[in-house]
Chains A and B, each alone.
Chain A
Amino acid sequence: MSSIALYPGVVLPTAEEEIWRYSRIEELSLDSYVAGLLENQIDAPADVAGIVTQGAAVGECGVAMPIPVDAFAEINAIHCSGAHADIITVKTERGKSYASPVVITRTLSVSGVLAAPRLIIDAAENSEVTVVEHFLSADDISSLIAPVVEIRAAQSARVTYIAINELGNKTWKIAHQQSLGERDSTTRLFTVALGGDYARVRTEARLVGIGATTQQVALYFADKTQMHDFRTLQTHIAPRTSSDLLFKGAVQDTAKSVYTGLIRIEHEAHGSQAYQTNRNLTLSHGAWAESVPNLEIETNDVKCSHASTVGPIDDEQRFYLESRGIHPDIAERLVVLGFFNEVLERLPQIDVVSGLRAKVAAKLHAGAK
């Protein structure tokens, strides 16, 4: 194993490691990239404009991920302290609720670069904020993006983060989401993944304060030769914490998806609840989805459940709609859009979200006009 010239000391993982099993890490050659930058656009209406800073100091990094969790988080940390730093911070005021969302659009428009932006959401006590991070690139852009979002929710703070991946079909994404929930806080991490060639997200919600709550919700839909790869962690450290995870995905053509999730309830976290649901639809014979849920419980007096399914559209659901005179393709389309509705209905109803249903529909072959 050799480290990479661009990032001395960084050793890339291999698919031998459990957390990288099924991934496409073996195809990656960092030598084919040079460090680069995205173009950022921040839409922050007047009430939130003052809480967003672009080009913050490297010292801001580490609020929720003090130590990089893997090679790509390390690469991101190296970028943060160098010439290609791209740090945006959202820092709320104590006790303040912000009605408008902060929408950050990050566009990759150059091929052959590795961009590693960082977003830091630091929510002060009893404040409330919603931040959207929207990733875009054109179809011919062959680059790698390794973003990190760190979220700290102080006592009773409420943070909603939404990542939308509409990257082009040659762009790779290896992302990290890390949240830290203090006492009685609520963190919600949403991901909508439609784009990318290989798009991976490692998302970890750490519940460190008594009574902290988290939700992790994702919609992913891969077609052609795309692959979506999710590694989720629900880490309960403090007592009476609760986590709820819902990940729903579909694969079409020869696309692939991987979901592996771990609920970890540590020794002190008695009285906690953790739920994890992953459902996958395989819409074509050549499509493939893997789902691996795991539990690690080190204490008593907890409520946990996990459910995972992979399979084609349910015959009975299709028949039910067909028995109303609906063509099989349209019936299939209704079932798939219905399947994703459960996730879309949980997303905050803001502008950038409202168009997502139509984008999902546009990707579907079934019943396409």
Chain B
Amino acid sequence: MSTLIIENLVAGIPGKQILNGINLTLNSGEVHAIMGPNGAGKSTLSGVVMGKPGYVVHSGSVTLDGVDLLALPAWQRAQAGLHLILQYPTEVPGVHLDDVIREAYVSRGRDTSTLDAEIITEAGRINFDMSLVERSMNVDLSGGEKKRNETLQLALLKPKFAILDELDSGLDIDALRDCARRVEAATQEDNLGVLVITHYARLLAELRPDVVHILATGKIVKSGGPELADELETTGYAGLTQ
């Protein structure tokens, strides 16, 4: 069993503090949802934890099984077992999915001899069009194809913890279901711990959270069970963040 612990995290962008002391403990196999209005700091949280350039950490810590993630560059955080699905997956012209996964395997000392077969199997599980594997990463892909591509990478790399930053944005209903179910399956098959960041509850109908946290103005203002997401649907954020 692994544990990801975020403690008193205060961070932001240069000149602007956005996260005002975040505390959260996520265990293997658990799904925690972070919900919040626009501007609450949801994407900042995912960027800071993964080590995306452009953010400044003022205080607090993020540890994975005791390893201080904030002291590591992004690629070592990934090797430690953290994975991020970006809200807007980056286009990398001329670089194909299988090139990236192969290098990611090599960097982890994993055997690549069965990689092609693994890609075919995983693509089939989420209805990902195999012809897209040979295309430039995220270039000219639809919103649904991009998120299937991201989910495929998550499934292949088998991290300990995944942060899904608005996986549901720009997704059609079929892609939403395929991606959410695959992540849900990973929580059972691989004991994946998931931090799912979302604005809307519709994703949580497919990917059932154990805990729901409400993020507002850079702090978790309320935590509860899945019923909190349902409550949010009726009251809206205004009711919960007062």
Chain A residues near B (Cβ < 8 Å)? 315-317, 319-328, 330-331, 334-335, 337-342, 345
Contact = CB atoms under 8 A, between A and B. Distances in A.
Given A320-B86, A338-B99, 13 more contacts: A320-B137, A322-B78, A323-B51, A323-B78, A323-B84, A324-B83, A325-B78, A325-B104, A325-B108, A326-B104, A339-B93, A341-B93, A342-B93
Interface residues of B, number: 31
B157 A324 contact: yes
Interface in B40-98: 50-53, 73-75, 77-79, 83-84, 86, 89-95
A325 B108 CA distance: 8
Contact of A320 (B92, B108, B136): B92
A-B complex: 5 closest residue pairs judged by Cβ atoms: A338-B94, A341-B94, A325-B78, A338-B95, A320-B90
Contacts of A317: 90-92
The residue among B89, B107, B108 with the most chain A CB atoms within 10 A of its own CB is B107
A319 B53 contact: yes
B64 to A, nearest CB: 13
B75 A322 contact: yes
23 contacts: A317-B91, A320-B89, A321-B92, A321-B100, A321-B103, A323-B52, A323-B74, A323-B75, A323-B78, A324-B78, A324-B153, A325-B107, A325-B108, A326-B78, A326-B104, A327-B107, A330-B103, A331-B103, A335-B92, A338-B94, A338-B136, A340-B94, A341-B136
A43 B195 CA distance: 61
A325 B74 CA distance: 7
Nearest to B136: A338
A320 B89 CA distance: 8
Q: Is the interface of B mostly helix, strand, loop or mixed?
A: mixed
A316 B100 CA distance: 15
Contact of A334 (B78, B84, B95): B95
Nearest to B105: A325
Contact of B79 (A325, A338, A340, A341): A325
Q: Is the interface of A mostly helix, strand, loop or mixed?
A: helix
B157 A335 contact: no
Contacts of B74: 319, 322-323
Nearest to B88: A316
Contacts of B104: 324-326
Contacts of B75: 322-328, 331
A341 B137 CA distance: 12
Nearest to A321: B100
Contacts of B107: 325-327, 330
Nearest to B85: A323
Contact of B100 (A315, A326, A340, A342): A326
Given A323-B84, A331-B75, A337 B94 contact: yes
B90 A319 contact: yes
A292 to B, nearest CB: 23
Nearest to A325: B78
B95 A335 contact: yes
The residue among A326, A331, A334, A340 with the most chain B CB atoms within 10 A of its own CB is A326
A325 B89 contact: no
Contacts of A342: 93-94
Interface string B153-167: 100010000000000
A325 B153 CA distance: 12
A317 B90 CA distance: 6
Given A321-B100, A323-B78, A338-B136, A328 B73 contact: yes
Contacts of B103: 321, 324, 326, 330-331, 334
Contacts of B99: 334, 338
Contacts of A325: 75, 78-79, 104, 107-108, 157
B109 to A, nearest CB: 11
The residue among B78, B89, B90, B108 with the most chain A CB atoms within 10 A of its own CB is B90
B165 to A, nearest CB: 11
Contacts of A320: 86, 89-90, 92, 137
A221 to B, nearest CB: 14
Contacts of A321: 92, 95, 100, 103
